Structure 1
Amino acid sequence: MPEGHTIHRLAAHHDAVLGGSQVVASSPQGRFVAGAARLSGATLVATEAYGKHLLHDYRGGSGGGILRVHLGLYGMFADGPGAPPEPVGQIRLRLVGAGTGPDDGPHAEPGRQHWVDLRGPAACELLTVAEADALRGRLGADPLRTDADPAAAGERVRRSAKPLGALLLDQSIVAGVGLVYTTEVLFRAGIAPTLPGRKLTADQWLRIWADLVALMRLGVDRGRIDTVRDVHLPEAMGRAPRVDRHGGEVYVYRRAGQPCLLCGTAVAAGTLAARNLYWCPTCQPG
């Protein structure tokens, strides 16, 4: 499932290629016909990422509304310049417009027609302003948002007896953080994922939060999750680069049984809150 950095990248890119323009919307697979009809002719006035939720704010047209997309495990976007290709497969939503904003992506050309296709999302729906506000109210602090409240999130974490790994994955506490960032930030902090939240010190929480902010901003910039410090990169250690469909260099995520890059201990794996988890028994003592 994409983590928060991916959703923030999508929000910025969609603003660049569709923002400020009237869109033509359709649902080739037929599962979002009514919603697409409301969006067609409306203008995309803003895009927003909050945790793992992508929001498009449309005004005018046949009603507009706030489009909420949650990609889930299988959802994905595809896009390109010019006229859209013939629909192939299960396209839930197709948007065609001509954005006016700057973009550092490969299709940057303000004012040129652009198409965006959405396939297989866990959620694709239109919300009212009140419903969008309620959604934001249910979500925790997003490390990539300027309005995040790390103190409130820290208070909830440090009041709980639940394992820290489960608390970081709780989107009502910290929004946008998934399994990769959770396992990696706890390794970098030297804290076991099974540590009860109430045993975490205030200083430890502040260090974890600052590291999340830095790592996720790097993820937005690079388009992948990299968590390894320079001294532990392949070229610095003389080791082979990581080969994994998720990309990026990491310390423990999906490295069960392999030697820890710091101490050489075999990376451990287990489950927590029905999710796979990875940690170093030596660097992260329980």
Structure 2
Amino acid sequence: MSDEVEPGFVRVRLDLSYDGSGFSGWAKQASGRRTVQGDIEDALRTVTRSGETTYELTVAGRTDAGVHARGQVAHVDLPEALWAEHREKLLKRLAGRLSRDVRVWRAAEAPAGFNARFAAVWRRYVYRVGDQPGGVDPLLRNHVLWHDWELDVAAMDAAAKSLVGEHDFAAYAKKREGATTIREILDFGVRRREDGIVEIEVRADAFCHNQVRSMVGALLFVGDGHRDVEWPRRVLDAHVRNSAVHVVRPVGLTLEEVGYPADDQLAARQGETRRVRVRGQA
């Protein structure tokens, strides 16, 4: 499947972040609900004076409603003349048009072979949880989940480590027609910050729908003593969706970073990803 940029167009990489609290996820919806993609495409159309023409974004990872992003990456193909005209002031104009809960920090011409979704080699998410008896700091309420049981971080970390590697994550994923549930987790760990917030960090080549929040739900059961350390791995090895695994709320989840190979390896990575997972969820 070719991803050649059309003649007369330039591919632009956008690095962005957003507070997902007010969005119904990344992807545009027929219902007209507010989405990150919709807001940015509307702003881009306005600041470039493109009339009725919408230049669609391709994103590294489609976040769900309420999920945040600090290091999201997208690309858009723009006419060369339009890019040349607006590139110098594009960020400032977008900042003036977009709501304060979404920001584009960088817009630059992408190297050959770049595709925000298919050229990515990994995505890194962090889920933040507070287990203090009094609840979560009100200033962090939209970014930290309150769990009203004290958490054993060491047990959670051991359980997380048991899921590292390439596996079929059907037990932790919402199955989608035609999409594989095989993923490779590169790193998975749990730590407690000095301020008491528990951070569950996972890095993988890609994630299935609901996979991260399902795995976090399993780890919380381990952390509060409702399940043993080996339980999340037993769930994984069963290869079927387990009703005992809760999909935790999106409030604590943030896409922190997306990784890409060196420029001369972008095209090869894109081709590899398309062969393995053309219709998979990033």
- TM-score per shorter chain, which class? 0.3 to 0.5
Structure of greater relative contact order (alpha carbons < 8 Å, 6+ residues apart): 2
Query: Which structure features the higher share of strand residues?
Result: 2
User: Given the two structures, how large is their TM-score scaled by the length of structure 1?
Assistant: 0.33
